[in-house]
Structure 1
Amino acid sequence: MAMLFTRGDDPRAAVEEAAKQEGIEIDDWREPTTDDDQLGEQAAQFRPRFLQAVLVHPTKDERAAFRMRKRIQATTEGTYVASCSFRTVVYKGLVAADTLGDFWLDLKDDRFDAPFVVFHQRFSTNTTPTWARAQPFRTLCHNGEINALAGNVNRMRARAHLGTEEVGLGAEEIFHPIIHPADSDSGQLDSMVELLVRGGRDIRHAVAMLIPEAWEGARDLDPEVRGFYRYHASLMEPWDGPAGVIFTDGVGVGAALDRNGLRPLRYAVCEDGLVVCCSEAGAVDVSGHGLVERGRLGPGQMLFVDPSRGVLRDAQCKERLAAAAPYARWAADGLRKLNPGRPVEDPDGAETLETRQAGFGYTKEELAMVLRPMANDAKDPTFAMGDDAPLPNLALRPRPMHHFLRQRFAQVTNPPIDHLRERLVMSLRTLLGPRKPILTETPEAARLLTLKSFFIYPSTVVDLMESEAHGFGCARLDATFPVEDGPEGLRKAVHQLCDEAEQHAREGSGIIVIDDGGISRTRAAIPALLATGAVHHRLVSQGLRMNTSLVVQADDARDSHYIACLLGYGADAICPGLALETVASEADANEDSELVGPEAQARLQAAMEDGVLKVMSKMGISTVDSYRGAQIFEAIGLGHEVVDTCFTGTPSVIGGIGWQELGEDALKRHAEGRLVDAGYYRARKRGEYHTHNDDVVKSLNEFKAAHLLQRALKDGRDELYDQFADLVNGRPPTEPRDLLELVPAGDP
């Protein structure tokens, strides 16, 4: 049965042609009877036409039905295929839960029979409710939110080769795009499950790939099950976020929870064979069905019911999945551990180091207030709340690139994670190397390098460049540009960098190193964030991103926010070489401290890793694999041309500076020569302007004291207030509102 929601032109001719191409016969067309009195005003206004096609096929091939659906979507407009299967049919709509059966009169027919049913009533939080977005979808219903959705979608866009032909599913072009941007996050998750199942995997297998349990830190996990997860992590990053999922392939039905268990799922198994699984206990009355076993799913657990074989608990499900192929052996043989490297032993001398620091935009303030606390305490420094400095595009001094990007965070129904107390469910595990198509199951898919973290030292970058032991090529990109080219040279160099990366990826380089360390008197640095984002998005657009990993040697990366930005825009591994040299040099030069260079670098690493975990946790993301490429930022003060090239898809509401201004800033930093106290974090006389500077605070306090005295004397003079107002109103622009001018509306 194919269930269609249609608008506009009659799709039946296109549907019949799609069926014919797959050897499927349409035996009959029908319009299911509905009671539209059950609809609300909005639902009735946007109600589509409902059509059902009765399908006949010699083998009732679900793959043929899947291909038929993809062909319908490619050849029709205004038609949504709610289901197309020989096993399942979807009845859903914009109706209240208790009226669904009254709206679809088929559901009240005594001849309508099914061994199980999947039902979900939801309240839309992130998307506008529509008939197509109502749940359930074709394989599942989902209560929760996919926090890393942008990264997951970008990764799927980057997967030009899915492996459909190798597994006998059909030509690749039929199935692209797998994910439609108009779908909700739940609908996109459903599309992924459907692809994996039609590609030959059991539906439990597909769900375990997309929503794995927190296997990385689980000490008592069965080794074979751990091997299953290790292997599949090389194929698919987690679709991370709160998730209670009910899923079915038409043969059995199951339930699964996310790795954090952030949505409830309770079940009851009755003596007579009735099994109920709901988000709330008591949603279905089980009285009269004999003895009842009640329970609830824990984090990462799964329950599956096969009407012919009974109930399978979590351990049984996972053991069967792990036994389907020698995944543990494939993972053990293929995955090779890569050491993060050795601490920098001989940092540059103070004068040379300062010149390099100035060239990458370091300031005395950052050394004292950011890097030094991180090297001493192994955690991010603590600042007062609020940032009263101008936005980067309004600042008096050139700002580092990461200041133009602001983090977004979990809101409303989306709980953050406590990265300190819930560290067990979080992971920084990183894989390097070319990835295989997601539909394949071969030992070669696990032939990758594995790191405990994204953080690596310069020695590891050198090893990657010089050693062929990993079995795939490594190319280096020079992320600098000639000073003589002027500001325009930055844009030209970024585009050239993208061209070189594309060429290396096509030639088979499994790792590309983006290195900004080649600065000199004649060459200025391309900000690593611009270079990484531009290369990442170029490779995504060309379908080459999964062919290579991006290692970024970023001498301008010196705090956790910069590291998070690099990860968010595609970096696989990061080496903040100059920051490591800086803390090592300071530790060795400080005779009053017992801290030595290697220990200072280890603490800097710990601080940056902890900072990234904290950033991820604010968005409710548990694994760096899910966070990588997720772009959970908003651009503040960047022009659309820059955003389109380097940060594609990132919101930039007000626009801002472009390549010319960024090029000028890069050259100013390059010409600086010596460290300055820029005053980014605190007000300094020759530093960045702050709205709450000493003069403003002093004036406000004087006015407050005088105002209290005037109230006592009942004298209405406001000279001090005028002085305070002049300071505030006459300040340099720091926010967009400072550039607004109120225009009188005139007479009504």
Structure 2
Amino acid sequence: IVKRFRTGAMSYGALSKEAHECVATAMNRLGGMSNTGEGGEDSARFDTETNDRIKQVASARFGVTSDYLIHADELQIKCSQGAKPGEGGHLPGNKVYPDIAKTRHATTGVALISPPPHHDIYSIEDLAELIFDLKNANRKATIGVKLTSGAGIGTIAAGVVKAKADDIVVSGYDGGTGASPRTSLRHAGLPWEIGLSEVQQTLLLNRLRDRVTLEVDGKLLTGRDVAIAALFGAEVFGFGTAPLLAIGCHMLRVCHLNTCPYGVCTQDEKLRKRFKGKPEYIINFMRFVAQDLREIMARLGFHTIDEMVGRYDCLKQRDHFGNWKAKTVNLKNLLYRPYTDASVGQHFTTPQNHKINTTLDMSKLVRMCRPALEEQKHIRARLRIKNTDRVTGTILGSEITKRYGEKGLAEDTIILSFVGSAGQSFGAFIPCGLTLTLEGDANDYLGKGLSGGKIIVSPPRESVFPAEDNIIIGNVAFYGATSGEAYINGTAGERFCVRNSGISAVVEGVGNHGCEYMTGGRVLILGQTGRNFAAGMSGGIAYVYDLDPNKCNTDLVKLEPLTDDDEKAAVKAMLEKHVHYTDSNLGHILLENWDDTVTHLTKVIPEAYEEMVALIAQAEAEGHTDQEAHMIAFEKKHGKNGKN
């Protein structure tokens, strides 16, 4: 039974390090699973007792690297959260300590914003692509999707199953993070019972129930709660509030203030020392819940949980009420059971076919690059590609990460040159050592989650049109990229480098919402930007040629001329690389007239980020190590305990 227990998404950055590791250790000892939440995970915990076996992929993609993905047994796409459906997250700058910033690939002391939606999911087809991306990044992991209990969730769940998800989580409004807005906790979302019942019934009516595992969370506390969840259709059960109470949480609802006096939800070192929780407390609690459930199962005559999944007939509405209004409630539709015969699967029995073997990686690339994978020999190859070849390079990248970890291989160990039109997610999550060049064009999501690799895109050699005036890559390129380089000889679609955390990219024009929610890295744009440029940008720097200020969202950023000589040299070096890799005609012209070009460049930089970078540089100049400098800068900005 306890192997079916999970802990809810407990974000690294919200919980203290000690509390997070306590929860993970307890669940691993039990044989269950803990969930990272959307804050990434410290790589030092991989392959240890404190490793979170469920890695969450949320809208901000904090810390979602190839190395992060490869160390999971389940990858969970968080579409929404029961306690605050439809809302993004906000981690205040006074909680972004150096360790948190490192894990999230962000800047110490600078606030972090999570977008409400995933910018690569605007339809069920988009969701199917992300599921396929993640399955390529880690073939042994199951792929789950977390949904909020609400009206219409059944229809959405049917689409999620058809998108080939392995697991669906139905998240109820109750419980949830103490940092959720009070209005959301009180007025948004629905009880998990309503959402779970709708999902179970819809999947049964469409004969899809046997393809997916159903999980439920939303303040499950007792064996009775688990039993009711199973009878409504759940096979796996998530706990969030209860484990935290077991290790010392007193529900003070000050998670966002960094002042938790019990050391559960704070990064303040003094307060963290007060944490008294132990893994044994959670283990004992979970075993008591399991024993409670076993006794209920025995009374109902069930030997296994699978036998009781979806058995609505074992539930009945109370006929005595303590409140007159409760008598008006009719649960008939909630307890409706569409099929009772064995011809329709009532629980998970049939694994999804993700068709991984049809990818270019499995049919050619991994076999071709085996000498590089096993002996680090240099590989060069030229291949044709078509737009049905999706997620090209991702499985090969995962094989590099499996063998060589976060560092990957030496730069340009493998250089694969493609000719044609690349499908979606070309080069997603590729690590250092893998360089992909494309002569042609690419669909959406190019370089998604880039993790150290290099991507170069240029038009066909025989083309006669001006590259800088034509779109060569689709929307949402380099979403959530953490490190690496990109050189695009042409313009990009919308949301170029959304949530960029660390890559260096050169492009000759972008659509609307460029560099949205960016937290790190450098982007050089040699053409127009489109509307709403730099919205929510809290880190990194963008350099734009002839920027129209009216198209820039200046809520968090300021616009400056490029004056520093060292910075000018660094930007020129980016342009020189762009010309070297792509032979860009526009790049040649701008480089030949560099003295004039540099006067047309506008530096777009977040004010809070600029302040913190200056404080860190000042501390390093005084002789402090990098780690010490970050902590000194944080203390100057937010006070010694992050309370300013």
TM category (shorter chain) comes to under 0.3
User: TM-score, normalised to structure 1's length?
Assistant: 0.21
User: TM-score, normalised to structure 2's length?
Assistant: 0.24
Q: Which has the higher contact order (CA 8 A, sep 6+)?
A: 1
Higher-Rg member (1/2) = 1
